[in-house]
Amino acid sequence: MRGRFDLPGSATVTVGTAAAVAGIMAGQERGWTSARTSALIATALVALLLFVLAERRAAVPLVPLSIFRIRSLALADTISLLTGGVLPATFFFLSLYFQQTRGMGPLAAGLALLPRAVGLSLGAQLAPRLMERLTDRTVYFAGALLTVVGLAWLSRLDLDGGHMTGVFVPSFVAMAGFGLSGLPLTVAATADAGREQAGLASGLLNASRQIGGAVVLAALVAVATAVTKADSSGGDEAPVHGYGAALLVGAALVALAALLGLGLPRRARHSAPGEHHGVPT
């Protein structure tokens, strides 16, 4: 049995994910009640249901469903599904804002995004140091809270606002929060899985981020497009209002994830950065 390829599981999860993303995009372009949108969403639901059935019957399943009995892993994967697309969406909307609203060229817009990457890096470097002194759950919640504040602040984008207080500071805060919350979530997903399932747990977390990234990004773009079309003011302000609405929805998703994060296990202090010897309490 070892090494057998789970073709039904691989096929159904791939079709289900692709159909879900395509369905969201079709809903944005053709309307949520169109035949194509309904067909794609129905295909996604059926494919994902077939994936669960296939995994229950497979001799060597792609994803043993029993692994989701690990509460910390299930919560971490759910959080990743909710928030996986918020980070790329933030960069996406900022890029559009700099180029289409502020009139920057591609190179200037790229350079303007660099400080946000620095914030992301700083948050990621600070996380293991804080995890030496605080619980994983506390560090994750602090990072998520920073992200919510930054995104909610950034959602107030406008045409005439100052760059420093209207764009730079809130986006830097949001990125620092993203960086800070990443490591404790990874630790939470893998710590209780044991050595034999640690690789699978890590893979599931990455898959959740990728799937969430595709679906949530498409959903936030759909929100921005809908608000832009519905904006009666028109002109250059309409797209900015769309970006702001999408960022606010992103903040709400991270806030929901933060509440779910309160269910992550509390763990004892780490002996060194990157090592995890705590015991759930």
Q: Is residue 3 part of a domain?
A: yes
Q: Looking at the structure, tell me whether residues 181 and 217 fall in a common domain.
A: yes
Q: Looking at the structure, tell me whether residues 79 and 44 fall in a common domain.
A: no
Q: Is residue 8 part of a domain?
A: yes
CATH number at residue 245: 1.20.1250.20
Mean pLDDT over 116-122 rounds to: 91
Q: Looking at the structure, tell me whether residues 29 and 144 fall in a common domain.
A: no
The answer on pLDDT for 279 being more than 60 is no
CB-side neighbour CA atoms (13 Å) of 235: 4
The answer on pLDDT for 236 being more than 50 is yes
Q: Looking at the structure, tell me whether residues 30 and 76 fall in a common domain.
A: no
Q: Looking at the structure, tell me whether residues 54 and 193 fall in a common domain.
A: no
Write down the pLDDT at residue 161. 64
Question: Final residue of a domain: which of 20, 43, 63?
Answer: 63
CA pair distance 255, 19, nearest whole angstrom: 27
Q: Is residue 279 part of a domain?
A: no
User: Quick one: pLDDT band at residue 2, thresholds 50, 70, 90?
Assistant: low
Q: Looking at the structure, tell me whether residues 142 and 164 fall in a common domain.
A: yes
Q: Looking at the structure, tell me whether residues 239 and 124 fall in a common domain.
A: yes
Domain that holds residue 110: 68-261
Q: Looking at the structure, tell me whether residues 86 and 47 fall in a common domain.
A: no
Write down the pLDDT at residue 204. 87
Q: What is the pTM (predicted TM-score) of this model?
A: 0.81
Q: Looking at the structure, tell me whether residues 151 and 37 fall in a common domain.
A: no
Q: Looking at the structure, tell me whether residues 58 and 117 fall in a common domain.
A: no
Q: Encode pLDDT of 52-105 as tens digits.
A: 898 888 877 877 877 888 888 889 999 999 998 999 999 999 999 999 888 889
Q: Looking at the structure, tell me whether residues 59 and 72 fall in a common domain.
A: no
Mean pLDDT over 221-232 rounds to: 86
The structural domain count of the chain equals 2
Q: Is residue 215 part of a domain?
A: yes
Q: Looking at the structure, tell me whether residues 145 and 251 fall in a common domain.
A: yes
Write down the pLDDT at residue 242. 92
For the beta carbon of residue 103, count every other beta carbon within 10 angstroms: 9
Average pLDDT, the chain: 85
User: Quick one: pLDDT band at residue 193, thresholds 50, 70, 90?
Assistant: confident
